[in-house]
Amino acid sequence: MTEGSFSRVGVVGLGTMGAGIAEVLARGGLAVVGVEVNAEALERGRGHLENSTGRAVKRGRLTEDAQREILGRIAFTVDFADLGGCDLVIEAVPERLDLKRRVFAELDRVCRDDAVLATNTSSLSVTEIAAPTARPARVVGVHFFNPAPVMKLVEVIGTVLTEPGAVDRVASLVRGLGKTPVTVGDRSGFVANRLLFGYLNQAVGMLESGHATRDDIDTAMTAGAGLPMGPFTLMDLIGLDTCLEVLEALYAESRDRRHAPAPLLRELVTAGLLGRKSGRGFYDHG
Ligand code: CAA
């Protein structure tokens, strides 16, 4: 089975988001090429995929055969040249503009001219990421949410240079994968993060000022506002480093003080307390 007009999709970066995206694509029947910078990172990425699909097997949501098939659709590699046969490549490397621009320059070199290049950036400018390529008409943003295998929303971002056909093809791929696309313009934080992160940042400010405890703020938002997770549980899931990066990018563009990162958030990131991925953030994850 292939989705829309894409049949072989590359994913660059197999961290939490990239591995989740690779899983979604492979579950949708697509051939996936997963690329990492070195063998160690590649094994970590494979581990994310094995754990996530293994959890589904344990819960009886996936058979072992289906898990094998899903993982079998993913070719793991450290060689960018292996992306040469892909008709779509999704970049999911850390949220640094210089790094993403370098990756895009390299993708432009190794990928077919008609391949669409997509960035999973959560807050950087897609236009700036597209600039080092000779194909800005075929560069889009495709923003998945964490955890990617579970969350339905995918924001599809076109720049002023993107040809509408590229946005439509990616949105139709997203729909075929059982996700819900929304098409948005190239503004920092797009729609969801622009609204969500002001709220998350304000929760850190409340904690810091002694307005309420971590647990009471989380309880207020789950029991009172019906959210699946309170803000501190959610920030620990997203990763505090990612939260800080998103807020910095939002603040740089909006100059809205709601986006000025709360000092406590910065302090935790500096101390290496990044949430679930490091074992401790606002909560201790043992
Ligand atoms: N990877 C894969 N699957 C996962 C998972 C993960 N990390 N976490 C949970 N799941 C799956 C579980 O396997 C389970 O699936 P089944 O029902 O098929 O067994 C399902 O999700 C529900 O999980 P749980 O029962 O363990 O837990 P839950 O009911 O509390 O749901 C949750 C967990 C889906 C994460 C839910 O708490 C939730 O929706 N939280 C809010 C998440 C959110 O807001 N994400 C957006 C963050 S912002 C962002 O990502 C943008 C950015 O750019 C930073």
Query: Which of 150, 188, 199, 248 to mutate for ligand 1's pocket (most ligand atoms within 8 Å of CB)?
Result: 150
* Residue nearest (by alpha carbon) to ligand 1 atom 44: 234
The pTM score is 0.94
Output the six-digit token pair for 56. 């589904």
Ligand 1 atom nearest to 59, measured from its CA: 19
From 95, 143, 188, 259, active-site residue: 143
| pLDDT tens series, the chain, 286 aa | 344 589 999 999 999 999 999 999 999 999 999 999 999 999 999 999 999 999 999 999 999 999 999 999 999 999 999 999 999 999 999 989 999 999 999 999 999 999 999 999 998 999 999 999 999 999 999 999 999 999 999 999 999 999 999 999 999 999 999 999 999 999 999 999 999 999 999 999 999 999 999 999 999 999 999 999 999 999 999 999 999 999 999 999 999 999 999 999 999 999 999 999 999 999 999 8
The CATH superfamily label for domain 8-184 reads NAD(P)-binding Rossmann-like Domain (3.40.50.720)
Cα distance between residue 87 and residue 101, in whole Å: 20
From 52, 120, 122, 125, active-site residue: 122
* Residue nearest (by alpha carbon) to ligand 1 atom 33: 228
* Count of residues in the chain: 286
Cα distance between residue 82 and residue 76, in whole Å: 10
Q: Helices marked H in 16-125 — which ranges?
A: 16-27, 39-58, 64-72, 97-110
Which of these, 239, 150, 242, 141, lies nearest to 187 by C-alpha position? 141
> Which letter does DSSP use for residue 38 in this model?
S
Residues of the chain with CATH 1.10.1040.10: 193-276
155 assigned to active site: yes
What would you measure as the largest C-alpha separation in the chain, in angstroms?
Answer: 55
Output the six-digit token pair for 9. 């999709």
From 120, 123, 193, 201, active-site residue: 193
Residues of the chain with CATH 3.40.50.720: 8-184
Specify the residue for token string 């990763």.
239
Confirm or reject CATH 2.30.29.30 for domain 193-276, answering yes or no.
no
